[in-house]
Amino acid sequence: MATTAAIPKYNLNDDQEKKLILREYRALLRGLKPKLKPGDKELLRHAFEMAADAHKTMRRKSGEPYILHPLAVARICVEEIGLGVRSTICALLHDTVEDTDITLEDIEREFGGEIARIVDGLTKISTVIDVNASQQAENFKKILLTLTDDPRVILIKLSDRLHNMRTLDSMKREKQLKIASETVYVYAPLAHRMGLYNIKTEMEDLAMKYLEPEAYREIARKLAETKRERSRYINEFIKPIKEKLDHTSFPFEIYGRPKSIHSIWNKMKKKAVAFEEVYDLFAIRVLLDVPQELEKEACWKVYSFITDEYTPAPERLRDWLSAPKSNGYEALHTTVMGPQGKWVEVQIRTKRMNEIAEKGLAAHWKYKEGATDESRFDKWFQQIREVLNDKDNDSIDFLQDFKTTFLAEEIYVYTPKGDVKMLPVNSTALDFAFAIHSMVGAQCIGAKVNHKLVPISHKLRSGDQVEIITSAKQKPNDGWLDIVVTAKAKSKIKDALKEEKRKVADEGKYTLQRKLEQSGAAFNQHNVDVLTVFYKLPSPLDLYYQISIKAIDLKELKEFQILGDKLEPPKPVKPVEHKVEVQTVKPSKDTELIIFGESSDKIVYTLANCCKPIPGDDVFGFVTTGKGLTIHRTNCPNATKLLSNYGHRIVKTKWAKNKEISFLTGLKIVGLDDVGVIHKITNLISGEMKININAMTIEAKEGLFHGNVKVYVHDKEELEELVDYLKKLPGIETVDRYDAEA
């Protein structure tokens, strides 16, 4: 792990800094020692000196000399991913072209074309391609284009991102939110897809530390408190298995490891349970040291030892020995009922499999045998290439499709002839049809899955055998976009719909021309644009289409003025909108927007409907087109998408105390259905705490009640106090906040 994050202060003198930099450089060389060939040391020294000289006047936000960052990134590449000398040179130089006077030509002259190409892939785009699209999405698209030529680009990029996350403390709050959101939205799933589980886990945990600080600290504290008790339990669980393994001939290791904070938090949210109720806080791992030809046999043997001792849950068996994941991951996972009635996950893998699990793609190539074996990675890259070559792809759509298609877990589905197709999880029969050929997809009317007739929307499962049924009369429609998940299918359906729309729109174009000429205005680009804006449509094609399908009848045309042959739109009547007013200090470069401040300036803002923030919540402002400023909670379901795609529209925001205004929020209450329970709840809320109730519904069934209460509170503190009091009432099981609709 890079040591730079741990250095507390940077008031070192020049000599101390030089010693520190040299120490990091020597540590990097030590990590590379087994891979060094004659001449490599000189090349590395040259790259290091070139980078150190180029960055010599630069410092990071923490105050440290900038060169420590490329050195730390290079060490992650070597020590945590297992990359070699050429990747290390690229990591040392990865920021030089963007931030210093060094050019790509200089790098090519000194180190050759291969290294220059990788550095180019790592260089961020400095000009925004399209003002509405996110620079990050464009940036990412460019990285992926290079990735398909040379996957080392993405591995170095992930190392760069990991080091930035490890040193995020010195950044401003809004920058922390943006970088953490991007990380959890794109980079952590990408690390997972590359088989880098340790890096993926650390990225998710670090992102959570900034996006959900309270939940992060709470789980970390509880993990620390229960550590001794967990260790005792792990030893009790392992003891009988270890005794059996001691009688086998192969060397082994067996140990327990805690689950990540992020995965525990996900379990708590998904299953709506408290920390104490999450059963798999840790996993037991068995590592075997056996020759490759004996691996399967040995893993299944260990599985039989474990299931002899403890009862397995058959539906929780995961056999990635017979069909490894497309990122190369191989292992056998099972969940068994351990002592004291607790479920325990056990992972069985060999030393070779473990190296692939920890170092992903890099280790995968090290073990790749024979040039004929087209790896699953190669197939994956080929699929990405196809989508990247589609020039019409909007960047943010692309980023969303990339996540659902290429970063999801995958399933393996068979054609009638037994050929295997790899698809993302949740793929439908229609996705499979497009995976075979775009023509087969466009004419798909149904499918037979395992010889049974199913609709095109049928979700496929791993191992299904699928036969597609087509008809020449079939053509894609809008509803198909909700059925498919793969980027290829979405892109082909959009193309077909555009073509269809064009044909229908021609009729509307002719109608518009006739109406304009009858009213005395010309059919020209200016007038078409004026009408497109007036009807709030994205393009003239949409205008013609809406006219053609009679969704727009153009009767508003008589309200337009005609000057010469040009249309002038009618003046809009301003709608009366109920908006909350904010007072704020005048925003200078570093001030944050204060909601309910004391100054005389007023800024109009609205509270986001998707997460219903209340004072005290951790929030950020988002500048929306046409709506002004919207306030979202940092843990809003849409926050990661907004922060990672539109970082430039984020405004730093915080609450000021104001007890005059109340906010609507909701609580879900679950408990034992007992006489007088409703009276107790209402008495506490309105009687004791003097909080207004907006609405309340209670449903009782089979001894349990589920209540929804909408209340007006002044801020988060008041809400938390109410939740605490409600939880103390006898018979109340859980109290959770939800975002109430007014």
Q: Which helix (H) or strand (E) holds 255?
A: strand 252-258
Beta-bridged to residue 350, according to DSSP, are 288
3-state secondary structure of 466: strand
Q: Encoding tokens for residue 91?
A: 């990591």
φ/ψ bin of 640: left (φ > 0), alpha (ψ from -120 to 50), beta (otherwise): alpha
β 628-633/601-607 pair status: parallel
Which 3 state secondary structure label does DSSP give 395? Answer: helix
Contact call for residues 76 and 162 (beta carbons, < 8 A): yes
Which amino acid is it at 94? H
CA dist., res. 107 & res. 104, Å (int): 5
Q: Which residue has the tokens 């988002």?
A: 622
Q: For the residues of 540-572, what is the DSSP string, one character each?
A: HHHHHHHHHTTS---GGGGGSEEETTEEEPPPP
Q: Is 105 a catalytic residue?
A: no
- Residue among 99, 120, 174, 507 flagged as catalytic: 99
CA–CA separation, 195 vs 209, rounded Å? 23
Token pair, residue 348, equals: 């069985």
- Neighbouring CB atoms inside 10 A of 114's CB total 14
Tokens matching residue 490: 């979405």
Q: Which residues contact 481 (CB under 8 A, 6 or more apart)?
A: 490, 493, 494
Annotated catalytic residue 98: yes
Tell me, what amino acid is at 79?
E
- Cα–Cα distance between 612 and 397 in angstroms, integer? 26
Report how far residue 579's alpha carbon sits from residue 629's, in angstroms, rounded to the nearest whole number: 11
3-state helix, strand, coil in the chain (%, to 5): 50, 20, 30
Q: Is 564 left (phi over 0), alpha (psi -120 to 50) or beta?
A: left
Token couple for 310? 């403890």
Residue 406, helix vs strand vs coil: helix
Q: Which of 14, 15, 42, 98 is catalytic?
A: 98
DSSP state of 580: E
- CB of 138 closer than 8 Å to CB of 125: yes
How far apart are the C-alpha atoms of 264 and 219, rounded to whole Å? 8
Instruction: Give the C-alpha separation, 337 to 149, whole Å.
Output: 47
Other C-beta atoms lying within 10 Å of the C-beta of residue 299: 21
Could you tell me where the beta strands, DSSP code E, fall in 541-691? 561-563, 566-568, 580-584, 593-595, 601-607, 619-624, 628-633, 650-655, 663-672
Do residues 543 and 531 lie in contact, with contact meaning Cβ atoms separated by under 8 Å? yes
Positions marked catalytic: 98-99
